[in-house]
Chain A
């Protein structure tokens, strides 16, 4: 994806010159002749970096920087000063305002481009390093929102795919709980919210869900709708989860009866492929997102599974994608893509190759999860 830069300078010639050079190097460049104009552009779209002149009429670059620092939407955008008077005091003042660097206007244009590239590259590397360290810490604490592998159950094949978005963990969570040789609960959910926040809360939700399933099974309850109801009541009462909401697809595989009991909370319809007639049915659950209200209206569907039948559960990242006109969500398109894949000898591999391949990455806008249950 092209790196987005916002260039702010009252000199139209400089704007054109730099913009052309940046454009030739693959940057997507937006220009503003004043701070007022720049703020309008920022409101529409957050760039990867801002390059701003110091000296401008009305509001200067320093004031612009102050405005950005006061606004939490903008304060973390890397900011570089671009100026013709690079005396030490001015430089110092700029750097004290958390500008990542300054560039002298006498610098040849190709070097300006290289310097911006270097800055973005350094930021990206630091960011990846931080993500890696947090990931390593989570691993050490055995915090996982996605398991290492699916369990085995006779007569069924359980598989899943999960992909972070831009290396950020998100709100998606997956788990499998095998309560006896005959029964596996499949959990797929998505906590709504911000990257790190959603990731953090996914552990809270998973803990509740795991406990509720175990406790219910101890008490002889195995109905996913009843379990969902209990989970939802706990979530609604937990002040820590206050405004945090989550989807959940909860499926109980009954191996001996060759059935899957399914209940959902604000989740996307589960796709049921029937091998015998090649039919695909989208099974929409009835329940509300976890945490909205105490009566979540949960209901259960019983899905008969014959040899070769498949069930596909997904999170919204699978149906969200980037188009030329912006982001969009299209469940129908996703199902249409699946039609060509379901029922093949290795559906998992086909989904992995076709939907989780590198070429798909450009259009991906969220973390993505898919669980595949197949009767064998």
Chain B
């Protein structure tokens, strides 16, 4: 579901599916939390491969962020297509997640302040 790579002083988790939906939401959350538990606490989630996201997957995304915050971690998102970005803005997910249009140089680079 996700492929994780180290970048600068954080990690990038790339979602490997085009349709981020209800069937995938639990697996996604589980994989992300497993990565955070293994010490990768600051994760930028890449949506470059994702064409569509449903509300269940959004729920899993927020639940993962809530978990990250409880362990002193952080999640941000990157690579949203136009429709998904519009949806994020329309339902204020952009106030919950820092949304990046380009990969930040480091965790400190605009992420924390966001």
Write the residues of chain A forming the contact surface with B, with a CB cutoff of 8 angstroms: 44, 46, 73, 171, 190, 192-195, 198, 243-245, 247, 266-269, 284, 286-289, 292, 297, 316, 320, 325-332, 365-366
Contact = CB atoms under 8 A, between A and B. Distances in A.
B95 interface: yes
Contacts of A44: 17
A328 B84 CA distance: 9
A75 to B, nearest CB: 13
A365 B52 CA distance: 11
Contact of A288 (B25, B52, B58, B96): B96
Interface string B79-109: 0000110110011110110000000000000
Contacts of B51: 325-328
7 contacts: A194-B22, A243-B62, A284-B90, A292-B66, A320-B54, A326-B18, A331-B90
A288 B56 contact: no
B110 interface: no
Given A329-B83, A366-B54, A247 B96 contact: no
Interface of B: 17-19, 21-23, 25, 27, 51-56, 58-59, 62-63, 66, 83-84, 86-87, 90-93, 95-96
B83 A192 contact: no
B62 A268 contact: no
Contacts, number: 87
A234 to B, nearest CB: 17
A336 to B, nearest CB: 14
B59 A193 contact: yes
Contacts of A326: 18-19, 51-52
B29 to A, nearest CB: 8
B62 A329 contact: no
A47 to B, nearest CB: 12
A100 B19 CA distance: 29
Given A195-B22, A289-B93, A297-B92, 11 more contacts: A192-B62, A193-B55, A245-B59, A269-B90, A292-B62, A292-B96, A316-B91, A326-B52, A329-B52, A329-B86, A329-B87
A269 B92 CA distance: 11
Contacts of B56: 192-194, 198
Contact of B93 (A266, A284, A320): A266
Q: In this complex, which of B19, B59, B63, B83 has the most chain A Cβ atoms within 10 angstroms of its Cβ? A: B59
Contacts of B55: 171, 190, 192-193, 247, 316, 366
B68 to A, nearest CB: 13
Nearest to B84: A329
Contacts of B86: 329, 331-332
A293 to B, nearest CB: 8
B90 A268 contact: yes
Contacts of B92: 266, 286-289, 297
Contact of A247 (B22, B54, B84, B91): B91
Contacts of A331: 86-87, 90
Nearest to A265: B92
Nearest to A326: B51
A365 B58 CA distance: 16
A329 B90 CA distance: 11
Contacts of A267: 91
A327 B52 contact: yes
Contacts of A287: 92
Contacts of A366: 54-55
Contact of B62 (A269, A289, A327): A289
Contacts of A247: 55, 91
A328 B83 contact: yes
A365 B22 CA distance: 11
Contacts of B63: 243, 245
A245 B54 CA distance: 13
B95 A327 contact: no
A310 B69 CA distance: 41
B107 to A, nearest CB: 21
A284 B86 CA distance: 12
A243 B90 contact: no
